[in-house]
Structure formats: C-alpha cells, structure tokens
Structure 1
C-alpha cells in the first residue's frame, strides 16, 4: 500500500546511527585532548560553529572534504576512519587507502 499523504522519510539504518555516534565520540575525544573549542575546529576547517556542534552531537556526519580536513588535524578521527574501513583485513586495501589518503591530504 502506498503512502497517501505527507513526506516519505528516508530510512535510517542502525549502521548510520552507530557511525554518527562513533564519529561524535572520536571528535569529542580529540577536542578534549587538544583543548579545542567548537569555534577553533570551525575556524580550522572553514565551517560554521553550528556544523561542528552537529558533528559533536552526532546529528550529522561531515562531508567528504570536511572529513579529509578533520583527518589531517585529528588522529582520533583518522583512526576511526581506518577502523571503519576495516583495511587491516587486507594488506592491498590498506596500502591503496593509505596512498589515496596521502595524495588527498598532501593536496589540501
């Protein structure tokens, strides 16, 4: 049966919710360790302070360019990306991902 009225909401998977939570924890951990404020992170990445607050609250994930910039300044976020990618299971995947990240980060 089709939905008759209103907007059809996108499905949110458990994996997406878990990823947002894990990202928020990693970012909070780095901000706490480095004594960063949301404003400092926002200025470093050239995004709004509201955007950083949404990331820390687990409401949204950063765009790909913002994620690369975060990986450049945050070891906790970088480790999270490596963990999520599960690159350690396959040496070739790990090497390829390292090369891609190196090229992308060196061009920023």
Structure 2
C-alpha cells in the first residue's frame, strides 16, 4: 500500500513549489519580453520625435516666411490703394470745382 501511494504521487502533477517556480519563470520571461518591447518602442519614439520636431520647425519657418511675404504684399497693396484714393479724391475735388464754376457762370 505504501508502494501504491508512492506510485500515485509520482503520477499526479506536482503542485506547490514547482508550480510556483514555473509560474515565476513564466512571469519573469513575460516581463523581460515586455521590457524589451518597451525599450524598442522608446528607441523608435526617440528616433522619430526629433525628426518630427525638425519637420515641424521647418514647416513653421516656411509658414512664417509665407505670412511675411503675404503681409508685405498686403502692406504694399494698401499703400497703392491709399495713393489711388488720394488721386481720386484730388480729381473729384477738381471736378466739383469745375462743375461749380460752370454753374456759377450760367447762374
């Protein structure tokens, strides 16, 4: 009977310390894989971010230059409109004086 108990114990799956050890090893392996994956992700993200920042800075510089050109063009156009407005105003004053002169002569 003692022999049967030993055989039975040998056939049954071992529970206890060896199960905990197996789970610990699995957990350790999983954590190592996770850490490796995170390291790779950090490396890729670190390599990606500076290039993206450079691209963003270049895009901002391009936008700034374009806006500066647009502002200069708008300022030049505004100056031309101001000059044209002054010329039109001067001509209108001259035309009104001429019309008054004609009215006074006939009136």
- Scaled to the shorter chain, the TM-score interval is under 0.3
Q: Over alpha carbons, which structure has the higher Rg?
A: 2
Structure with the larger RCO, 1 or 2 (CA within 8 Å, 6+ apart): 1
By percentage of residues, which structure has more helix? 2
- TM-score, structure 2 length as denominator? 0.22
